[in-house]
Amino acid sequence: MSCLTRQEMKERRIGVLLGGFSAEREVSLKTGEASLRALQELGYDAVAIDVQENLPEQLKNASIDVAFIALHGRFGEDGRVQGLLEMLQIPYTGSGVLASSMAIDKVMTKQFMLFHDVQTPKFDFMRADDSSSDLLKRCNNKLPLVVKPSREGSTIGITIAKSLEDLRTGIGKASTLDGTVLLEEFIDGAELTVSVVNGVVLPVIQIVPKGGFYDYQAKYLSGDTEYLLPAPIDQEKNREVQEIAIKVCQMLNCRGAARVDFMAREGRLFCIEVNTIPGMTETSLLPKAASAAGITFVELVEMILLDADLDK
C-alpha cells in the first residue's frame, strides 16, 4: 500500500470526479460539490471534474495527481473509472476495480454473501436473455417481492410488488435501467445501515421513513425520514451488525468509505447490499454516522482522501 502523507497530498493537485452520466448524476453532483468545498477549506489544491465520455482528455487537461471519486452508480462506482485511473497511474480514493465491480452488482454481491455464510434475503433474478414469463411463474407465489435493477443505487427503479401486476410492472421498469433484474424477498422490519471508513466501523443508524419505504423521494427530496442514531437496538445486536459490516467489506476488499445496508426482522439480520461510494450530501448517512463518532465532515473527507492508493 502506498498512501501519501497529509503534507505530500497538499503538494499535489486533487481532482474531484463528480456528476457523470449515470441515473445518480444529481446525487453525485451534490456529493462532489460538498467534498470539493471541504478539501478547499482544508487547503488542498482541489478542482472539480464533471465526468463526461472524454474523461481521459479531461484528466489530462486538469493535470491532476490524485482523483477523489465522488461518482455514484455505473460509469463511476462500478470499476470502470477505477480501471482507467490505474492505467493512467493516478492514485484514487475508495475501492479498487474488483471490489467496485462486484459491489455494484447486487446479484453478484448476494451470491458472494451466501458463499461466505452472510444471511441475505432470498432472491431470484433475470438476465437480459431470460424469459420474464418463467420468472413470473417462479415468483408469483412468493409475493411481496422487492424488484430492482441489479446495478443501480439510490433506490432508482425499485418496486415493492404486492401483486402479479406489480411484479410485471416492476420487472419492466427495472429492465429499462439494467440488463439484470433482481427480485428479493420483502423483509418487513427495521432498516439499518453501517458505515465503515478505512476499516473503522461507525455507529449504526436506523432509518424510519414516514411513508414506510425509503425510496429516492424519502432519501433526497421530502425530508420525511427519521434517522435514529444510535439505532435503538440492544448491545449484542449492535455488535453483530457492525461485525457483519466489517466482514462484508473485508470479503469484497473494499477500501476507503463503504456503507453496508441491512434489514432486521425478529432478531435476524439480513444484509442487503454494499455501497462502495456512499453519498456525502446534507442528508447522507455516512456523514451522519461520522458526526456521531465525533468526526466532522471535513475530517471525514480528508480521511477518505488520505487513503487514496494506486495499488488496490
CATH number at residue 245: 3.30.470.20
Antiparallel, parallel or unpaired: β 159-161 and 123-126: unpaired
Query: What per-residue confidence (pLDDT) applies to 215?
Result: 46
Q: Does residue 38 contact residue 46 with C-beta atoms inside 8 Å? A: no
pLDDT averaged over the chain?
Answer: 91
Residues 114, 16 share a domain: no
Q: Do residues 149 and 183 make contact, with C-beta atoms less than 8 angstroms apart?
A: no
Q: Is 305 within a domain?
A: no
Q: Are residues 75 and 39 in the same domain?
A: yes
Residue of higher predicted confidence among 4 and 13: 13
Residue 306, all three cell numbers: 488520505
Across 51-65, average pLDDT: 96
| pLDDT beyond 60 at 135 | yes
Catalytic residue among 275, 284, 302, 307: 275
Report residue 223's pLDDT band, with 50, 70 and 90 as the boundaries.
low
Same domain, 108 and 133: no
Tally the domains of the chain: 3
Catalytic residue among 273, 302, 307, 309: 273
Last residue of a domain, one of 160, 185, 210: 185
Residues 227 and 180 in one domain: no
- Is it the case that residue 4 has pLDDT exceeding 90? no
| Residue range(s) defining the domain that contains residue 202 | 102-119+188-299
Active site residue 279: yes
Query: Does the annotation count 53 as an active-site position?
Result: no
> Which among 220, 226, 227, 152 has a CA at the least distance from the CA of 195?
227
For position 160, which CATH number holds?
Answer: 3.30.1490.20
Tell me whether residue 220 is one of the annotated catalytic residues.
yes
**Tell me, what's the pLDDT at 285?**
95
| 154 is a catalytic site residue | yes
pTM of the predicted model as reported, rounded to 2 decimal places: 0.91
Over range 157-164, report the average pLDDT.
90
* CA–CA distance, 306 with 17 (Å, rounded to integer): 16
- Tell me: do 284 and 199 sit in the same domain: yes
Q: Is 1 contained in some domain?
A: no
Any domain includes 306: no
- The mean pLDDT value for 213-230 works out to 63
Mean pLDDT (whole number) for 235-249: 97
Taking the alpha carbons at both ends of the chain, their separation in whole angstroms is 7
* 140 shares its domain with 200: no
Q: Identify the residue with better confidence: 131 or 214.
A: 131
pLDDT band at 183 (very low <50, low <70, confident <90, very high): very high
Q: Is residue 304 part of a domain?
A: no
Give counts: helices (H), strands (E), the chain: 12, 13
Q: Clarify whether residues 90 and 110 are in a common domain.
A: no
